[in-house]
Amino acid sequence: MTGRLIGVVGPSGVGKDTVMRAVAAAWPGLHLVRRVITRPENGTEDFEGVSAEEFATRAARGDFALHWQAHGLRYGIPASVHQVLAEGRSAMVNLSRAVLAEAEAIFPGFAVLSLSAPAEVLAQRLALRGRESADEIARRLDRAGYALPEGLATVVTIDNGGGLDRTVTQVLTAFHPAREEVTE
């Protein structure tokens, strides 16, 4: 039995990485894919930071199952995710909306977890993380409403504007229905 890749998308500040870590803590065996990104590691996100040259070398070597460019950076999903899925384990990865159709073509059973939150919640979270200016936050909020590509087979949309426990329960119900009930 092949595992399923779940691509997590949503606007900046919606809590993609926080939700992924919380879901993994409640779903034994779920693999969180560690992306490769052409920016320095910052300690707040789990990714491997590499130079543009190193990224290009890895891409040419076929080290990525999927890679793309966004916001002046390159992003890659290590090809090792294929082995994880072949072992029957599901995996979750933070993706760009722009590569969802490509991911669906590459990974059988691919599903999308689309996280949302009200604009005021996004603005507050972005301000708290302290990485962007007010103008940059405004631009990120303008992009928050971008639609997903049409025709994706499996998309589950969950509002992460409230409590994390509620979001995790909804994600587990949608993607891991055979689990034993999680006890508090």
| Per-residue pLDDT of the chain in tens (184 residues, 90 and over written 9) | 679 999 999 987 788 999 999 999 999 999 999 999 999 887 667 789 999 999 999 999 999 999 999 878 999 999 999 999 999 999 999 999 899 999 999 999 999 999 988 888 887 877 777 667 777 767 777 766 677 888 899 999 999 988 899 999 999 999 986 654 444 4
pLDDT of residue 86: 95
Residues placed in the known binding site for ATP: 10-17
Task: Say which residues have a Cβ less than 8 Å from residue 142's Cβ, sequence separation at least 6.
Answer: none
Per-residue tokens: 12 = 């900046």
pLDDT of residue 184: 40
Closest CA to 55 of 71, 36, 70, 82: 36
The CA distance from 155 to 118, in Å, is: 19
pLDDT of residue 130: 67
Structural domains in the chain plus CATH codes: 5-175 (3.40.50.300)
Residues placed in the known binding site: 10-17
